[in-house]
């Protein structure tokens, strides 16, 4: 049988924009993890219009089971994740951040819950979470205020919508991401709301997390943009477009 026709158990989707420095280390860590496991897998790197040598760095690693998807213009993290999820073939589809801020082996905390939940997400704010390297105080305060607004407006009961470590059953992912309309930083909020609107069960799991000082979410404009996207999501919800 053609190996390409054998569906992997796990698809790992990684959005990447100018990640030549951080992504190779992350890919090596994922490869090392799977090398010690019996899971079949694929890694989908989505190059979101990078203007550095991200593609060259990934190609030069010569690691197995990596697929590179690319397009010319930067479209946003949400667009890149959506692009990768639509191409994923695995029974379970996880997307993670290029900096591996949640160490990939934390997937072992999420997988057991997929028997009972269609969507399982990592959380930095639950009891049992372990933030190994904290963000600056101002960013922590802004993040908590943002989460409060998210809970009030659209997602009560979810303590951390923005952690980039979420895994889905493939059948649920197909339905959820086909309804996505937000393409930048607020997309996590939208896909979780869509999950709820479609009746999928969400499980939040405490994880270990390391702040990376090279993160791109530095500008106050990012928070203002995400706030605008949150309001758009609320309007979409009121219009009931996610059930269409």
pLDDT band per the 50, 70, 90 thresholds, residue 11: very high
Where residue 239 sits, what CATH number does that domain have? 3.90.550.10
Length of the chain: 244
Q: What is the pLDDT of residue 209?
A: 92
Q: What is the pLDDT of residue 134?
A: 64
Higher pLDDT, 197 or 138: 197
Give the model confidence (pLDDT) of 210-236 as tens digits.
877 655 555 667 888 899 999 999 999
Q: What is the pLDDT of residue 222?
A: 81
Q: What is the pLDDT of residue 6?
A: 84
Please determine, for residue 173, whether its predicted confidence score (pLDDT) is greater than 90.
Answer: yes
Q: What is the pLDDT of residue 167?
A: 98
The three-state DSSP-derived secondary structure of the chain is CCHHHCCCCEEEEEEECCCCCCHHHHHHHHHHHHHCCCCCEEEEEEEECCCCCHHHHHHHHCCCCEEEEEECCCCCHHHHHHHHHHHCCCCEEEEECCCCCCCHHHHHHHHHHHHCCCEEEEECCCCCCEEEECCCHHHHHHHHHHHHHHHHHCCCCCCCCCCCEEEEEHHHHHHHHCCCCCCCCCHHHHHHHHHHHCCCCEEEEECEEECCCCCCCCCHHHHHHHHHHHHHHHHHHHCCHHHC
Q: How many domains does the chain have?
A: 1
Give the model confidence (pLDDT) of 185-216 as tens digits.
999 999 999 999 999 999 999 999 987 765 55
Give the model confidence (pLDDT) of 100-119 as tens digits.
999 999 999 999 999 999 99
Q: What is the pLDDT of residue 243?
A: 82
Are the C-beta atoms of residues 208 and 130 closer than 8 Å to each other? yes
CA–CA gap between residue 213 and residue 47 (Å, rounded): 21
Give the model confidence (pLDDT) of 53-79 as tens digits.
999 999 999 999 999 999 999 999 999
Please determine, for residue 21, whether its predicted confidence score (pLDDT) is greater than 80.
Answer: yes
Q: pTM to 2 decimals?
A: 0.92
Q: What is the pLDDT of residue 213?
A: 61
- Tell me the residue range of the domain where 131 lies: 3-243
Q: What is the pLDDT of residue 1?
A: 44
Mean per-residue pLDDT for 87-100? 98
Q: Give whole-number Cα distances, 81 to 78, 113, 126, 167, in Å.
A: 5, 22, 25, 12
Share the mean pLDDT of the chain: 92
Are the C-beta atoms of residues 47 and 68 closer than 8 Å to each other? yes
Higher pLDDT, 100 or 136: 100
Higher pLDDT, 68 or 141: 68
Q: What is the pLDDT of residue 96?
A: 98
Q: Residue 128 region, left (φ>0) first, then alpha (ψ -120 to 50), else beta?
A: left
């Amino acid at each position: 049988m053609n190996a390409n026709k054998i569906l992997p158990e796990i698809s790992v989707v990684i959005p990447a924009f100018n990640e030549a420095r951080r992504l190779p280390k992350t890919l090596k860590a994922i490869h090392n993890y799977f090398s010690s496991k019996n899971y079949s897998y694929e890694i989908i790197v989505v190059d979101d219009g990078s203007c550095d040598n991200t593609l060259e760095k990934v190609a030069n690693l010569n690691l197995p089971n990596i697929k590179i998807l690319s397009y010319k213009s930067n479209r946003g993290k949400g667009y890149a994740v959506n692009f990768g999820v639509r191409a994923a073939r695995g029974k379970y589809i996880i997307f993670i951040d290029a900096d591996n801020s949640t160490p990939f082996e934390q997937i072992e905390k999420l997988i057991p819950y997929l028997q009972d939940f269609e969507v399982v997400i990592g959380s930095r704010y639950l009891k049992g979470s372990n933030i190994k390297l904290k963000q600056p105080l101002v960013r922590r305060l802004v993040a908590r205020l943002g989460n409060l607004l998210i809970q009030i407006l659209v997602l009560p009961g979810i303590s951390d919508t923005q952690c980039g470590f979420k895994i889905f059953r493939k059948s649920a992912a197909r339905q959820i991401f086909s309804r996505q309309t937000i393409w930048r930083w607020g997309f996590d909020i939208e896909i979780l709301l869509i999950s709820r609107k479609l009746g999928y069960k969400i499980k939040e799991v405490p994880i270990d997390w390391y702040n990376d000082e090279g993160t791109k979410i530095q500008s106050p404009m990012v928070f203002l943009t995400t706030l605008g996207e949150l309001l758009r999501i609320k309007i979409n919800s009121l219009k009931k477009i996610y059930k269409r």
